[in-house]
Amino acid sequence: MNERRLTAIAIDTGGTFTDFVVLRDGELRVHKRASTPDDPARAVLEGLAELVEPGEEFVLSHGSTIATNALLERRGARTVWVTNKGFEDLIEIGRQNRPELYALAGRRPEPLVAAEDRIGISGRLIRDGSEEAPLDSEELKALPARLRDAESIAIGLLHSYANSAHEDAVSAALDDLDVPVTRSARLLPEYREYERFSTAVVNAYVAPLVRRYLLTLAERSGATRLRIMASSGGAFSVERAAREPVHTVLSGPAGGVIAALEAARRAGHEGVLSFDMGGTSTDVSLCPGRPLHTKEYTIAGSAVAIPVIDINTVGAGGGSIARLDPGGALKVGPESAGAVPGPITYGLGGQEMTVTDAHVWLGRIPPERFLGGRQVLDRAAIEAPLSRLADALGQSPEATAEGVLAVANTRMESALRLISVERGHDPADLLLVAFGGAAPLHGAELAARLGVPGVLVPPDPGTLSARGILVADVRKDVSKSVLRAGEEARLDALERDFAELEGAALAELASEGFSGSEVIAERAIDARYRGQSYELPVPATDDWIGSFHAEHLRRFGFAREEAAVEAVTLRVSARARVVQPKPTKIKRATGSPEPETDTAVYLGSSWERIPLFSRPALQAGQELPGPAVIAEYSATTWVPGGWAATVAESGDLVLVPSEGLAS
């Protein structure tokens, strides 16, 4: 199968909308449908029915929130945890981190596996993988009967990263049970028991739900090949996603980061603040020339130690609900109106003010231009709920709507500062890439608060995460803990382990149809000074120890060149490029842009008529001074007073302060 000749479709399922991007004969088409939270596959299949031509063969890439929502809402499978005797409660004890630092009696989320579903068995391996005590054969024979009511099973035994024999034997004893089994050593062959065990439990908890969903798509979508977006920023096979769904916990947001970096590079920028504001939440990420990854990720109170793009999420989106807290102060989010009932203005039964409603009331979203005019919003329905909230605050409806936006901006500003200023990065050196259905409405105001010099709004910003899923590399990440120092840690001594890992990664990509020169494999080593409890990743070169000293000096301000350096975990990342869209180049302008019409917008103290531009009609080189509204199918861009937007040849909008534009 030559994928390069097939239509490629990418889908990002969000809390409010499901986004589609179609690449057919080098040309892009975008589409949006309301999400169907009760059955996410329904919106996907209905959208495909509208987009796919009869008999057309296509490759489908998908970013799914199924695993994420199951964890957040605690509606995964009843999972049984099998581990060594005496370690049954390790997944609940966790690390000594305190989620509430100053609380005398801190609270943690309930573990995903109830105490009565944790089973300890005999047998023990030690650090080097040798057997200290064998498994009990009678105990293994009796194990299936103890697990009859399980919907999913997770197995995690001590030091199985060094020798998986005990976990393999336990799994073999459960072969007759028709339930998914997750082995920690196969999923994450790395040391640190708590993180490995927790990752295995999370995987098992969501496995049945994700598997059912993916099988439904595979059977009913009609796709020639189906891939799933991984949290690491690459796509992988549906078979692996069904087996290891933990890799999808940041599936959609990872696609957004990939596309934001692509858009920034197109505009000649490398340092990026990715700002993705959708209907339910806002996802932000720092990309200093590349996506940053982390293995220290926690979702719903559970540690997940797989590589994920470092994304910070806050509950502030277009559907975030505005309420008064017990002290009478205005609060926005994290509760969201979601797709159903949605914001009041959607006319689907929403009764509480949301961020979207505030924009509509203030005129920043013209009701008749929503989704390119395909849906007319109901502004009048906002008046009564907004007036109630305004009366409680003792303010006018307009001032209250502005307050809702200000509170939402403050929450998002905090998230952006956390990933930039608090990590030693000057926002003045970065570009804010605003995308998602709501981000272009907030981009300029947030940039002004942060001191970011400009905002990039890509074409079709409301579907950019789906575009990232479309263009993401097909990728396989593999790892193995080795814990070696001295002569054993020389690169030639590690070659056998690296070759084994690389072979596994390349074999998986070959099964996806990629081989030879179209595959790039990169090797890295997680290293530390002996005795440290944390590692730094460095490229696996002959002088990797020297690279580690230099990186430690850069990160922490000192290096201990006399100390022994330990190779903790070996990593291989293999990736292959998929078909990319043709570069967009729009017509250059011969004059100033003409607004489509004017529209009423509340500007601080009064209502004024300001220009409303249609983005598809704009041409390269045109400048649009604020205040102005720029409408398109997937989003609306707000250009406040004191700012101006310039149209690039690529179709991107670049927003900068007016004085910056003049200079």
Rounded distance, CA 534 to CA 335, Å?
Answer: 36
- Residue 589's alpha-carbon distances to 208, 595, 637, 658, in angstroms, are 54, 14, 20, 20
Which range is least confidently modeled, 218-222, 422-426, 542-546, 625-629? 422-426
Query: Are the CB atoms for 400 and 393 separated by under 8 Å?
Result: yes
Q: How far is CA 424 from the centre of its chain?
A: 23
Rounded distance, CA 9 to CA 51, Å?
Answer: 9
DSSP bridge pairs for 79: 152
In sequence order, what E strands does 402-460 have? Answer: 431-435, 455-457
What is the topology classification, in CATH, of domain 475-576?
Answer: Dna Ligase; domain 1 (3.30.1490)
> For domain 3-71+211-248, which architecture applies?
2-Layer Sandwich (3.30)
* Across 112-120, average pLDDT: 96
Rounded distance, CA 427 to CA 299, Å?
Answer: 27
For residue 520, give the DSSP letter. Answer: E
pLDDT at res. 663: 37
pLDDT at res. 2: 62
- DSSP sequence for 334-381: EEE-TTTT--GGGTSS--S-BHHHHHHHHTSS-GGGGGGGTS---SGG
Nearest Cα residue to 252 out of 31, 433, 465, 438: 465
Model confidence band, residue 662 (pLDDT cutoffs 50, 70, 90)? very low
| Block residue for tokens 């858009």 | 263
21-39 pLDDT, tens digit each: 999 988 899 999 988 888 8
C-alpha dihedral over 588, 592, 597, 598, to 10 degrees?
130
pLDDT at res. 444: 97
565-584 pLDDT, tens digit each: 999 999 999 999 887 888 88
pLDDT at res. 3: 67
* Across 191-206, average pLDDT: 96
Please give the radius of gyration of the chain, using alpha carbons only, rounded to the nearest integer: 26
Between helices 397-419 and 383-393, what is the axis angle to 10°? 80
Half-sphere exposure of 291 (CA within 13 A, CB side): 25
Residue positions counted in the chain: 663
308-356 pLDDT, tens digit each: 999 998 888 999 999 999 899 999 988 888 878 889 999 989 999 999 9
Measure CA of the first residue to CA of the last residue in the chain; give whole Å: 53
377-427 pLDDT, tens digit each: 999 999 999 999 999 999 999 999 999 999 999 999 999 999 999 988 999
pLDDT at res. 114: 94
302-320 pLDDT, tens digit each: 999 998 999 998 888 999 9
pLDDT at res. 208: 96
CATH number of 260-314+427-470: 3.30.420
Token pair in block for residue 591: 């004059």
Token pair in block for residue 322: 């505005």
- CB burial of 422-447 (b: ≥16 within 10 Å; e: otherwise) equals eeeeebeebbbbbbbbbbbbbbbbbb
Residue 394 identity (one-letter amino acid): G
- DSSP sequence for 60-112: EEEE--HHHHHHHTT----EEEEEETT-TTHHHH--S--SSTT-SS---PPPS
Rounded distance, CA 234 to CA 566, Å?
Answer: 29
Tell me the pLDDT of the chain averaged across its residues: 92
69-105 pLDDT, tens digit each: 888 888 899 999 999 999 999 999 988 777 677 777 7
- Give pairs for 164-169: CB < 8 Å, separation 24+: 164/189, 165/125, 165/131, 166/123, 166/125, 166/131, 166/135, 169/135, 169/140
Answer whether residue 155 shows pLDDT above 90: yes
Answer whether residue 251 shows pLDDT above 80: yes
Q: What is the largest CA-CA distance in the chain?
A: 85
Nearest Cα residue to 621 out of 647, 650, 654, 660: 647
* Across 12-16, average pLDDT: 83
Answer whether residue 4 shows pLDDT above 70: no
What is the topology classification, in CATH, of domain 76-202?
Answer: Rossmann fold (3.40.50)
Domain residue ranges in the chain: 3-71+211-248, 76-202, 260-314+427-470, 320-408, 475-576, 597-662
Query: Are the CB atoms for 232 and 293 separated by under 8 Å?
Result: yes
Question: In this predicted model, which residue has the larger pLDDT, 260 or 578?
Answer: 260
Q: Residue 437: helix, strand or coil by DSSP?
A: coil
Answer whether residue 153 shows pLDDT above 50: yes
Model confidence, pTM: 0.88
pLDDT at res. 141: 95
For residue 289, give the DSSP letter. Answer: S
Q: Residue 394: helix, strand or coil by DSSP?
A: coil
pLDDT at res. 200: 97
- Residue 23's alpha-carbon distances to 45, 197, 596, in angstroms, are 18, 40, 29
Q: Which residues does 315 contact at the CB level (< 8 Å), separation at least 6?
A: 280, 281, 333, 334, 335, 336, 411
pLDDT at res. 98: 72
Answer whether residue 252 shows pLDDT above 90: no
3-71+211-248 and 76-202, same CATH topology: no
